[in-house]
Structure 1
Amino acid sequence: QSLRYLPVPGEWERKSHPQWSDAIFEVPPDRDGEVHYVTKGHFVRLGGTALVERLPSGHVIKSVLRNPYSPIEEQENRQKMEREIEIYRLLRPTSYIPRLIDFDIQSCTLTLENQVNGDLENYIKEHNISLDIQRKWIQQAVSSVSYIHLAGVVHTDLTPRNFLVDADCNLLLCDFAGSLLHGRSAFTGSLLQGQPVFAGCPGSRYQSRHWRKDYIPTCKDDIFALGSVIYLIEAGEEPYNSLPEYEVTRRFQNRLFPETGHLLTTSIIQGCWQGKFSSADEAMKTL
């Protein structure tokens, strides 16, 4: 069932709107297909697992999506968020990952330091990127993937939307809700409608082939996706940007990759796509 998530002003808005009556802050009953939620801050985006808001403090909070119409799907969302919290707690403070500010297992919320420039995908669309910044980003993208792999984490959804750009134009890797930890997904041992459950799928331009529902990605899948991220950073657009996704899938499955001879990072991009690197650390040495 398609759901509409409808905001109800939270107490934090009283300071900005002292003229509002108490009735505005009351949560109305949900009608069919509706889910009301009390806001914690300014809306950022609504994902498949969580609502993202910017708190009055400036930090970003992720709250698990409720689904009163499907307890199984709501439980799936909780498991993803719990996995993300687990991974942020595991990864020691580093320049490659957003800083964990707070978390609450009971309410399934996660608070992270805000990155003012948003995600890499949109930043590249809106700015001209200098060669020096491109080089820095490529180094940071490869280093961040190497870092999480050494910690036993496979991201599984390595795309430009999951790299954030901070105030100093550094890249940070985020969103571990669908990630594997030591080879196990958040759903290992669980079933959804009788089928093995796995979360995370980066899309045709970041996968070497179509993933079946029960496919469990590996570090090599992250490395393949890394090649496409690096391509975007240097070329300014995604691989086969003008082609429909089904055609991109067909070409990638047949190992027909975009021409990269005009790019400075052609060796690392092709190495990622063609499976020449056994680890992200090995790819980093190519730099």
Structure 2
Amino acid sequence: MVTHDSEEDTQPIIREAMVYEILGAHPRIAEWLSRGRSDFVDIKYYPRGDLASYSQRNTITAELQSKWFQQILEAVVASHSHGVIHSDLALRQFFVDDALNVRLGDFNSSQCPGHPALGYEKASHCLPRDYDLPNTEASDVFALGSTLYELVAGHAPYSELAGPRSDDPDVIKAQIRRQHVVDREIESRYRNQVFPDVSGLFGGGIILGCWRGEFQNAKEALDRYVDGL
């Protein structure tokens, strides 16, 4: 449970509660335990953690990867069917439940009918656009492509631009200082339709289709995936 005092701080909490109320109960959405309250959000605890961390700690079978690929698509389709644009899709936003199914959460930046988004994605997942305009299904679908890429590649798109992972505090500080340079480079590549190589990756055609805008919505991407099974 998270509580805040100032109006600025409570806005994301109120937004998240609003979105969970809109979405209702769904097997691909994190379970909201504080239904009926708008001043705080209490989500069911998922001891396996988020999908990004879980995938780093465990060996993922091809069967499980395929299931999660589809379930990530299903989660976004479910959100969009209610007019909810997540606005910060990434692998870390999906929880792994006890049955090893994934559930989408962290809607505190989301856009919903009548309420503009409170944020947008990190550069590796962000469709270059006019950020003063509302987020759209297209921006979510682009981020969906990057999320699926994370799942099958084991890292975020263009993560190599930040340099190798390190526990050295000085290296970490240097990487943080130059993150804005990395972000600009990623945005430039995306604007020029230059994407990470997906040849040989599971679901690569779906991922590239999300990045290239070949799908009008997430449902089209899900249908393409299911048809290919």
TM over 0.5: yes
Q: Which residue of 2 aligns with 1:99?
A: 31
Partners of 1:104 and 1:147 in 2: how far apart? 21
Partners of 1:127 and 1:210 in 2: how far apart? 36
Q: 1:179 aligns with which of 102, 110, 116?
A: 110
Shift in Å at residue 83 of structure 1? 1.7
Residues 48, 98 of structure 2: 8 Å contact kept:
yes
Partners of 1:147 and 1:278 in 2: how far apart? 15
Secondary structure of the residue aligned to 1:112 is coil
Shift in Å at residue 248 of structure 1? 1.5
Residues 128, 190 of structure 2: 8 Å contact kept:
yes
Partners of 1:183 and 1:133 in 2: how far apart? 37
Cα deviations across residues 50-106 of structure 1 (Å, max 9, x unaligned)? xxxxxxxxxxx2x2333xxxxxxx312222211211111121211111111125747
Q: Superposed, which structure 2 residues align to 1:202-221 within 5 Å?
A: 202-209=121-128, 212=131, 214-221=132-139
Q: Superposed, which structure 2 residues align to 1:1-287 within 5 Å?
A: 61=1, 63-66=2-5, 74-103=6-35, 105=37, 108-182=39-113, 184-185=115-116, 198-209=117-128, 212=131, 214-243=132-161, 244-287=182-225
Provide TM-score, normalisation by structure 2: 0.84
Residues 103, 109 of structure 1: 8 Å contact kept:
no
Residues 104, 110 of structure 1: 8 Å contact kept:
no
Partners of 1:152 and 1:110 in 2: how far apart? 20
Cα deviations across residues 16-61 of structure 1 (Å, max 9, x unaligned)? xxxxxxxxxxxxxxxxxxxxxxxxxxxxxxxxxxxxxxxxxxxxx2
Unpaired runs of 5+ in structure 1? 1-60, 67-73, 186-197
- Counterparts in 2 of 1:259 and 1:183: CA distance versus 1, 3 Å: farther
% identity of equivalent residues: 32
Partners of 2:21 and 2:202 in 1: how far apart? 36
Partners of 1:263 and 1:181 in 2: how far apart? 33
Residues 210, 249 of structure 1: 8 Å contact kept:
no
Partners of 1:125 and 1:237 in 2: how far apart? 9
Greater relative contact order (Cα 8 A, min sep 6): structure 1 or 2? Answer: 2
Unpaired runs of 5+ in structure 2? 162-181
Partners of 1:279 and 1:184 in 2: how far apart? 20
Cα deviations across residues 103-160 of structure 1 (Å, max 9, x unaligned)? 5747x21111111111112112222211111101110000000011011111111111
Provide TM-score, normalisation by structure 1: 0.67
Quick check: which has more Rg, 1 or 2? Answer: 1
Residues 85, 110 of structure 1: 8 Å contact kept:
yes
* Alignment size in residue pairs: 205
Q: Which residue of 1 aligns with 2:178?
A: none
Give me the CA root mean square deviation. 1.7
Partners of 2:125 and 2:114 in 1: how far apart? 20
